[in-house]
């Protein structure tokens, strides 16, 4: 449409511009004669402006990346406070409803509800460089002590990991970047009460008795 309007303003006929760009002649004539913008949206105007909605979406993604993702309830409460401050209505109502929320998500498909995980401060501050350095130290230890033959025997290769069963409810779903796999909620440094199970297996396929704390 933008290119068609440009061609018409340069002297091209409506018919030629429509054939060239594959758009309706009546629409092109209306936009040209009334000096309407090339890009328009269907349906009624949104309660918030496009700029305001983009700021809300930016706020959601920024909070999620910082480790403080927003739940749907927190987001809707904040939207209501913002609407009250700017005297914005939602179809005559002062409180945003399910319809507004669903349409907001449709207009911002990069945001969706994800399940968050608690992540303590000590774990959150571990960098990729520190993880790589740990593997280098283990490799150096194996090489210096001539233990590389151990890795050839599956009965001497162990893998152990612990799983915590929390006695408190897990974090609810929060708003974050669509498609993101790991969403964390900053939980400070306090440990949560839980039952921990330590599982150990060897590469040969056998399991050791589990340790339960």
pLDDT digits (tens, 9 = 90+) for 147-193: 889 888 999 999 999 988 877 656 677 777 877 777 776 665 555 67
Question: Which has the closest alpha carbon to 51: 96, 77, 86?
Answer: 86
Within a domain: 176: no
Tell me what percent of the residues of the chain surpass a pLDDT of 90.
28
Within a domain: 175: no
Rounded to the nearest 5 degrees, what angle is found at the Cα of 193, between the Cα atoms of 187 and 197? 110
- Quote the DSSP letter at residue 202: E
pLDDT of residue 80 exceeding 70, the answer is yes
- Same domain as 129, residue 193: yes
By the 8 A CB rule, do 175 and 113 touch?
A: yes
- Same domain as 103, residue 76: yes
State the pLDDT at residue 41.
60
Within a domain: 178: no
Q: d(Cα 27, Cα 19) in Å, to the nearest integer?
A: 13
Q: How many CB atoms lie within 10 A of CB 96?
A: 23
Mean pLDDT of 3-24: 90
By the 8 A CB rule, do 74 and 81 touch?
A: no
- Same domain as 206, residue 138: yes
- Same domain as 56, residue 106: yes
- Same domain as 188, residue 133: yes
State the pLDDT at residue 40.
65
pTM above 0.85, yes or no: no
- How many domains does the chain contain in total? 3
Within a domain: 41: no
pLDDT for 41-74, tens place per residue? 655 678 888 899 999 999 998 888 777 888 999 9
State the pLDDT at residue 192.
65
- Same domain as 151, residue 188: yes
Within a domain: 10: yes
- Same domain as 102, residue 58: yes
pLDDT grade for 119, boundaries at 50, 70 and 90: low
Which residue segment(s) compose the domain that 17 sits in? 2-33
Q: Residue 31: helix, strand or coil by DSSP?
A: helix
């Amino acid at each position: 449409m933008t290119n068609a309007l440009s061609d018409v303003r340069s002297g091209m006929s409506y018919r030629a511009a429509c054939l060239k760009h594959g758009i309706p002649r009546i629409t092109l004539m209306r936009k040209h004669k009334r000096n309407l913008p090339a890009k328009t949206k269907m349906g009624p105007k949104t309660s918030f402006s496009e700029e305001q909605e983009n700021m809300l979406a930016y706020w959601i993604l920024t909070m999620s990346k910082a480790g403080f993702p927003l739940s749907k309830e927190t987001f809707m409460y904040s939207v209501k406070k913002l609407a009250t401050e700017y005297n914005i209505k939602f179809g005559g109502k002062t409180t945003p409803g399910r319809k507004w929320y669903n349409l907001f998500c449709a207009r911002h498909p990069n945001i969706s509800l994800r399940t968050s995980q608690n992540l303590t401060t000590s774990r959150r501050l571990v960098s990729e460089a520190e993880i790589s350095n740990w593997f280098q130290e283990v490799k150096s230890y194996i090489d210096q002590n001539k233990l590389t033959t151990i890795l050839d025997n599956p009965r001497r290769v162990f893998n152990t990991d612990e799983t915590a069963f929390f006695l408190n409810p897990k974090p609810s779903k929060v708003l974050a970047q669509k498609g993101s796999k790991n969403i964390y909620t900053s939980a400070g440094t306090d440990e949560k009460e839980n039952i921990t199970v330590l599982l150990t297996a060897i590469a040969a396929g056998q399991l050791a008795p589990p340790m339960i704390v």
